[in-house]
């Protein structure tokens, strides 16, 4: 299938591009604007671009609210279990949750990604009735895939969880069903451009989960909770099931029309996305299972705590990606490559400039914060946490590029999942080499090695296809990242307050001096986006 929405990569570079206009950057260090045609921009096209920008910004803000609530809830849930039990119990519960999420990533999360892409795309091309037909097809696939994976877990769940009983496996299957429904219906809301409804339902769901978690941890008799660790999954099962029911009743009711002739693209996208999500997001969950098998109970518990603490850093910037993907798919449906390139450049730089200093500080403070939140027994997880933070940083920066490629036809949409599969191979090889010798830090190092491939390939391909050029920015970003890695390494290996303070101050000073002009330009761009939202 030809791809008419991207520039010809063999075109003359001197002719310019939608972002760099031949010179790379404008006089103020920002990308040059897209030149208008000789008669000025078409009013309908300009209005569509303003709607796209406003929708992207509002969607990001609502997503950040919902994702923030999700991240805080996951952290509080894990902290409750860690604080009221030993690291071995936390490792057992975290392994069960990771297995359930991994099963969901290969099923409902993939069909949900199809909804987030093809609902706005077909709506823009053919209208709401056609989009409703696509949603009906994806819903059926979700049900069939979930039933199949639950049947497999029922039969073979104890192979992955050798210390779990049959009741524990039953709770894992229930969580697969509930979380799968949650993941799919959440994506349907985004496919219909309803991030505000997602945010409201997410906050309500997280309140329910936290209340039930307190009941399960403190009010259920200790003997029962000890014999049936799977019972601690009940708050998640109830909360996610309630979200799915409410979300299904919140989407527009449109009579389905005729299913569009997508020439196998819908099924191919879902299949490749299943591989990509299982190998990408699932890779993170698999690392917990690897830590459980490769390390002792105490060290595996520390790794589980580090995973939980890195959760907010992992989820919050994804809010921008959740809003960006449907907007990118809509732009592809309209053939608006210029807006796609402009937004990809801006969103990537916003993520990098905001997350690099935040993640650097988080990596330095990991050990003390783990001891404070989970207890002194978990403070030794600081080095593993620092490595995980670096890996998640790469994931976050690549989110816009992954979404841009995924919004295209299947030729480009399959690049992120194939890169994710390649990253898993690299990660597993690293685990085999250093996992048992380096303990929790070795498991985190394997995840980082895989993420360099999973994030690096989509970044390079998307920037090449969109002809985004950062010129002098790239050396500044690289120098800032190197300063953060050095300072975080020193702070993680010598977690004394004075050392951490000196490392943090030095890193922030270096980053600020390197990117002062860029930060000021970013503030101006954010104000422009806020104005675009207000006009909408």
Q: Contact 273/246 with Cβ under 8 angstroms?
A: no
* Integer CA distances (angstroms), 396 to 216, 403, 463, in order: 33, 11, 16
**With left for phi above 0 and alpha for psi between -120 and 50, is residue 383 left, alpha or beta?**
alpha
Helix (H) / strand (E) element for 157: namely: helix 128-160
Q: Residue 84 pLDDT more than 90? A: no
In percent, how much of the chain has pLDDT > 90?
29
How is residue 174 written in tokens?
A: 């229930």
Contacts of 12 (CB under 8 A, 6+ apart): none
pLDDT band at residue 321 using 50, 70 and 90 as cut-offs: low
Q: Which residue is associated with the tokens 């796209």?
A: 52
> Is the Cα dihedral 355, 356, 357, 361 positive or negative?
positive
Q: What would the pLDDT profile of 138-175 be if each residue is shown by its tens digit?
A: 999 999 999 999 999 998 888 888 777 888 899 999 99
Q: Which of 165, 307, 174, 162 has the alpha carbon at shortest distance from 226?
A: 165
Domain ranges of the chain: 58-254
Per-position DSSP letters for 345-394, written without gaps between them? HHHHHHHHHHHHHHHHHHHHHHHHHHHHHH-GGGGGGHHHHHHHHHHHHH
pLDDT band at residue 35 using 50, 70 and 90 as cut-offs: very low
Compute the distance between CA of residue 426 and CA of residue 421 in angstroms, rounded to an integer. Answer: 9
How is residue 461 written in tokens?
A: 């391909």
The predicted structure's pLDDT at residue 18: 37
Compute the distance between CA of residue 31 and CA of residue 36 in angstroms, rounded to an integer. Answer: 15
Q: What is the 3-state secondary structure (H, E, C) of 309-352?
A: HHHHHHHCCHHHHHHHHHHHHHHHHHCCHHHHHHHHHHHHHHHH
Q: Contact 197/185 with Cβ under 8 angstroms?
A: no
Long-range CB pairs of 510-514, under 8 A, 24+ apart, other chains included: 510/479, 510/480, 510/483, 511/356, 511/357, 511/360, 511/480, 511/483, 511/484, 514/476, 514/479, 514/480
Q: Which residue is associated with the tokens 């989820």?
A: 315
Greatest mean pLDDT range, 31-45, 125-139, 141-155, 264-278:
141-155
How is residue 229 written in tokens?
A: 């660790």
pLDDT band at residue 13 using 50, 70 and 90 as cut-offs: very low
What length is written for the chain?
536
The predicted structure's pLDDT at residue 376: 85
How is residue 342 written in tokens?
A: 């402009």
Beta strands in 404-516 (DSSP E): none
Q: Residue 185 pLDDT more than 90? A: yes
> Is the Cα dihedral 100, 103, 108, 112 positive or negative?
positive
Q: What would the pLDDT profile of 272-314 be if each residue is shown by its tens digit?
A: 888 877 787 788 888 888 888 777 767 888 888 898 888 777 6
Contacts of 350 (CB under 8 A, 6+ apart): 320, 522, 525, 526
The predicted structure's pLDDT at residue 23: 36
Compute the distance between CA of residue 67 and CA of residue 79 in angstroms, rounded to an integer. Answer: 18
Compute the distance between CA of residue 259 and CA of residue 226 in angstroms, rounded to an integer. Answer: 51
* Integer CA distances (angstroms), 360 to 64, 169, 204, 396, 448, in order: 20, 38, 32, 14, 15
Q: What would the pLDDT profile of 93-111 be if each residue is shown by its tens digit?
A: 888 898 999 889 878 988 9
> Is the Cα dihedral 383, 386, 392, 393 positive or negative?
negative
Compute the distance between CA of residue 339 and CA of residue 116 in angstroms, rounded to an integer. Answer: 19
The predicted structure's pLDDT at residue 5: 31
């Amino acid at each position: 299938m030809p791809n008419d929405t991207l520039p010809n990569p063999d075109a003359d570079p001197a002719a310019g591009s939608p972002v760099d206009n031949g010179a790379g950057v404008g006089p103020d260090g920002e990308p040059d604007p897209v030149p208008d045609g000789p008669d000025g921009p078409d009013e309908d096209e300009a209005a569509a671009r303003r709607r796209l920008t406003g929708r992207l910004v509002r969607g990001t803000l609502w997503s950040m609210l919902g994702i923030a609530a999700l991240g805080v809830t996951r952290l509080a849930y894990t902290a409750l279990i860690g604080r009221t039990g030993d690291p071995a119990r936390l490792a057992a519960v975290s392994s069960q949750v990771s297995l359930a999420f991994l099963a969901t990533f290969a099923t409902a999360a993939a069909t949900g990604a199809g909804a987030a892409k093809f609902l706005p795309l077909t709506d823009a091309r053919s209208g709401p009735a056609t989009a409703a037909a696509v949603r009906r097809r994806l819903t059926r696939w979700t049900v069939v895939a979930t039933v199949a994976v639950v049947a497999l877990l029922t039969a073979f769940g104890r192979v992955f969880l050798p210390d779990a009983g049959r009741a524990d496996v039953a709770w894992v299957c229930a969580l697969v069903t509930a979380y799968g429904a949650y993941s799919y219906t959440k994506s349907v809301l985004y496919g219909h451009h309803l991030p505000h409804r997602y945010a409201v339902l997410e906050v309500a769901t997280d309140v329910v989960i936290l209340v039930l978690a307190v009941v399960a941890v403190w009010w259920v008799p200790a003997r029962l909770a000890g014999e049936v660790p799977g019972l601690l999954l009940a708050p998640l099962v109830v909360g996610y099931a309630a979200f799915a029911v409410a979300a299904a009743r919140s989407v527009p009711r449109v009579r389905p029309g005729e299913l569009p002739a997508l020439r196998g693209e819908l099924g191919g996208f879902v299949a490749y996305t299943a591989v990509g999500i299982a190998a990408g997001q699932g890779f993170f969950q698999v690392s917990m299972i690897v830590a459980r098998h490769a390390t002792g109970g105490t060290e595996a518990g520390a790794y589980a705590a580090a995973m939980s603490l890195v959760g907010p850093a992992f989820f919050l910037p994804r809010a921008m990606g959740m809003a960006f993907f449907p907007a990118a798919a809509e732009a592809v449906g309209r053939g608006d490559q210029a807006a796609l390139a402009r937004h990809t450049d801006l969103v990537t730089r916003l993520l990098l400039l905001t997350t690099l200093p935040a993640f650097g500080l988080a990596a330095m403070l990991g050990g003390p914060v783990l001891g404070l939140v989970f207890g002194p027994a978990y403070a030794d997880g600081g080095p593993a946490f620092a490595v995980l933070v670096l890996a998640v940083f790469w994931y976050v920066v690549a989110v816009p590029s992954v979404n841009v490629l995924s919004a295209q036809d299947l030729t480009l949409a399959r690049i992120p999942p194939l890169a994710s599969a390649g990253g898993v191979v690299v990660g597993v090889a690293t685990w085999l080499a250093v996992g048992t010798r380096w303990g929790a830090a070795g498991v985190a190092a394997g995840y980082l090695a895989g993420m360099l491939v999973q994030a690096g390939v989509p970044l390079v391909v998307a920037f090449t296809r969109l002809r985004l050029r950062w010129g002098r920015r790239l050396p500044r970003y690289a120098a800032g990242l190197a300063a953060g890695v050095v300072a975080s390494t020193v702070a993680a290996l010598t977690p004394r307050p004075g050392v951490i303070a000196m490392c943090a101050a030095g890193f922030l000073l270096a980053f600020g001096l390197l990117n002062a002009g860029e930060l000021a330009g970013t503030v101006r761009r954010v104000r422009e986006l806020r104005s675009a939202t207000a006009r909408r």
